[in-house]
């Protein structure tokens, strides 16, 4: 629930200290506000301050805060009602939906950021690093999918087995390969293929997708999506 005491403590501290439109309405809001979530004071904070700032005024879990905050945000951003419209105003539900999408996409971005920060960490320590120290310079001069490339991978088997076991963006990590992936695994695998193709003198992401489609039994639909993404990412 909203912590009314914190509202009034912060509001009193802010009075007269701000060169901001917020200050014009603050005293009036203090005078008429109660402790409930529909108060003028709460509306004012949501209107002028960041979501993180408003979070400190909520006593409860993040999920309940998200619902309460989104309801107020939707109310404040609702367009003027059309007098000729029906009683139902879709703007509220649409804004609630948009805020939920905002939240989910930001959570997805957080997962991708974590993967970006920790991608291939296991290659930097034993038992993997000594093998990659030895074989990586050789792999750069080999063509992906050739017998010579396969032979080098045999030498790396100990390191690769450990690597696959500890990195879920590789199909070998799962019993059912790519069929057990989530979208985060898929995207990390794709950019891994892209970056790896750039390390070979004759690397090509589209050729890598073609060869890996056979290697991992990738469906034609997913192959097309990967190819479409490869063409777009080349523009980054």
Distance of CA 170 to the CA centre of its chain: 20
Residue 79 has pLDDT above 80, yes or no: no
What is the average pLDDT across 118-125?
96
pLDDT at 96: 75
Mean predicted lDDT score pLDDT of the chain: 83
Predicted model pTM: 0.64
CB 164 within 8 A of CB 189: no
3-state secondary structure of 236: coil
Instruction: Tell me which H or E stretch contains 210.
Output: helix 205-216
User: What residue has token string 């045999």?
Assistant: 154
CA atoms of 214 and 157, how far apart (whole Å): 21
pLDDT over 70 (residue 5): yes
Domains in the chain: boundaries: 4-117, 120-167, 180-236
Q: Is the peptide bond before 35 cis (omega within 30 degrees of 0)?
A: no
């Amino acid at each position: 629930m909203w912590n009314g005491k914190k509202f009034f403590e912060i509001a009193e501290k802010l009075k007269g200290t701000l060169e901001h439109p917020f200050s014009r309405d603050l005293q009036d809001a203090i005078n008429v506000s109660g402790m409930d979530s529909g108060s003028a004071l709460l509306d004012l904070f949501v209107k002028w301050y960041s979501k993180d700032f408003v979070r400190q005024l909520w006593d409860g879990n993040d999920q309940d805060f998200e619902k309460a905050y989104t309801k107020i945000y939707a109310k404040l951003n609702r367009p003027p009602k059309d007098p000729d419209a029906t009683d139902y105003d879709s703007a509220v539900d649409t804004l609630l939906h948009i805020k939920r999408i905002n939240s989910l996409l930001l959570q997805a971005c957080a997962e991708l950021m974590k993967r970006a920060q920790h991608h291939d960490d296991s290659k930097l320590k034993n038992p993997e690093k000594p093998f990659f120290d030895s074989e990586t310079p050789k792999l750069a001069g080999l063509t992906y999918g050739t017998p010579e490339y396969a032979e080098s991978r045999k030498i790396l088997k100990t390191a690769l087995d450990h690597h696959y076991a500890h990195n879920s963006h590789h199909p070998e990590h799962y019993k059912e390969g790519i069929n057990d992936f989530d979208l985060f695994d898929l995207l990390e695998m794709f950019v891994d293929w892209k970056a790896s193709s750039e390390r070979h003198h004759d690397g090509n992401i589209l050729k890598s997708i073609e060869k890996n489609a056979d290697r991992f039994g990738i469906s034609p639909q997913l192959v097309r999506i990967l190819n479409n993404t490869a063409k777009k990412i080349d523009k980054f």
